[in-house]
């Protein structure tokens, strides 16, 4: 096992944030779903419709949580080491710098997986009541995992440039917000015909909320597949770029 990953997991298990964030997220999710069930007039007469709404709540909330937590985790990974004064020792240790980057990234990914597990009980209930099928659930989980890893990579890249955790976190969040607005705005304002222009489709595929949006658009399978492929490709390219930037920065880091 990568020693940095092992260290990060040990730290996360002991730190308050390690269990506080998933705990709060679980409580928030349960609360919102309960409110949806209580306030929906057709809850008794049409449980499937209620399950569809609950599935939508789970998907949207999951997107927001992943889009917020992943860049925060990534941004804190190196900046917090520098802030605490532990980074120098890691850089002087006989371990490849790429191993440090891999360990930090893997730890972010592991935590994202934990966050993805939190809504599974509620999601399983929506599947049980016909709110979504198993294929959609696993597709949604894959989308969120890819989104989390990508935004974690973006956070890690930002983290290499700052010495203060809060600055790195603020910049990472601002970057994700800018990416979302830049990717969504042309589609919202310029799309006039039924056929989306290619440049708008390409830009839109970079949006962090694109994956969740595709689930609820009800496109035809062939049409949806094209958008999926574009979205996954865009996220993978963004992640690769961020990892390359972070690796180059870490390899050349002196302090």
Partner 1 sequence: MIEMEHVSHAYGSRSVLEDVSLRVARGEVAGLVGPNGAGKTTLMRILATLLRPTAGSVRIGGCDVCSSPELARWVVGFLPERTSLYPELTAWEYLDLFAEMAGQAPAVRKRRIDEALARVSLDDRRDAPTRELSKGLRQRLGLQATLMHDPRVLVLDEPTDGLDPLSRRDVLAEVRELAASGRAVLISSHVLAEIEEVADTVYVLAGGRLNGDDPEPLRRYRIRVRGDLEQARAHLAKQPDVRSAVLDGDRILVDLESQVADPSSLAQSLLARGFALLEMSEEHSRLEERFERAVKGS
CB 17, min distance to partner 1, A? 11
Task: Using alpha carbons, select from 83, 65, 63 the residue that is nearest to residue 75.
Answer: 83
Give dist(CA 132, CA 216) in Å, integer: 10
9 binds partner 1 (CB under 8 A): no
The site for partner 1, by CB under 8 A, has a size of 22
15 binds partner 1 (CB under 8 A): yes
48 binds partner 1 (CB under 8 A): no
125 binds partner 1 (CB under 8 A): no
**DSSP label of 224:** H
- Which residue lies nearer to partner 1 by CB, 89 or 217? 89
110 binds partner 1 (CB under 8 A): no
Buried b (16+ CB within 10 A) or exposed e, 135-152: ebbebbbebbbbbbbbbb
- Which residue lies nearer to partner 1 by CB, 53 or 81? 81
Binds partner 1 (CB under 8 A): choice among 41, 94, 194, 218: 94
Task: Using alpha carbons, select from 137, 115, 116 the residue that is nearest to residue 55.
Answer: 137
249 binds partner 1 (CB under 8 A): no
Give dist(CA 18, CA 24) in Å, integer: 11
Task: Using alpha carbons, select from 114, 156, 131 the residue that is nearest to residue 36.
Answer: 131
Question: Residue 218: CB partners within 8 Å, gap ≥ 6?
Answer: none
98 binds partner 1 (CB under 8 A): no
In the range 51-90, which residues lie near partner 1 by CB under 8 A?
A: 84-86, 88-90
CB 230, min distance to partner 1, A? 40
Positions touching partner 1 (CB under 8 A) are 3-4, 6-7, 10-11, 14-15, 84-86, 88-96, 254-255
């Amino acid at each position: 096992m990568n020693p940095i990953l092992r260290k990060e997991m040990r730290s996360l298990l002991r730190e308050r944030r390690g269990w506080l964030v998933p705990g709060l997220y679980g409580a928030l999710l349960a609360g919102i779903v309960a409110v949806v069930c209580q306030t929906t007039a057709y809850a008794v007469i049409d449980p499937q419709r209620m399950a569809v709404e609950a599935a939508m709540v789970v998907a949207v909330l999951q997107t927001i949580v992943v889009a917020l937590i992943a860049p925060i985790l990534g941004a804190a990974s190196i900046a917090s080491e520098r802030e605490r004064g532990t980074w120098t020792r890691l850089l002087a240790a006989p371990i490849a710098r790429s191993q440090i980057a891999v360990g930090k990234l893997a730890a972010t990914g592991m935590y994202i997986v934990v966050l993805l597990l939190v809504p599974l009980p509620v999601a399983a209930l929506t599947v049980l009541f016909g709110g979504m099928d198993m294929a959609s659930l696993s597709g949604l989980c894959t989308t969120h995992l890819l989104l989390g890893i990508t935004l974690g990579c973006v956070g890690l890249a930002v983290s290499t440039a700052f010495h203060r955790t809060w600055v790195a976190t603020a910049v990472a969040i601002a970057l994700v917000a800018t990416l979302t607005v830049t990717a969504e705005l042309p589609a919202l304002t310029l799309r006039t015909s039924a056929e989306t222009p290619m440049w708008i489709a390409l830009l839109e595929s970079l949006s962090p909320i694109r994956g969740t949006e595709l689930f609820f658009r009800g496109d035809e399978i062939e049409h949806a597949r094209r958008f999926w492929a574009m979205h996954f490709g865009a996220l993978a390219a963004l992640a690769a770029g961020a990892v390359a930037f972070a690796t180059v920065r870490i390899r050349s880091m002196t302090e």
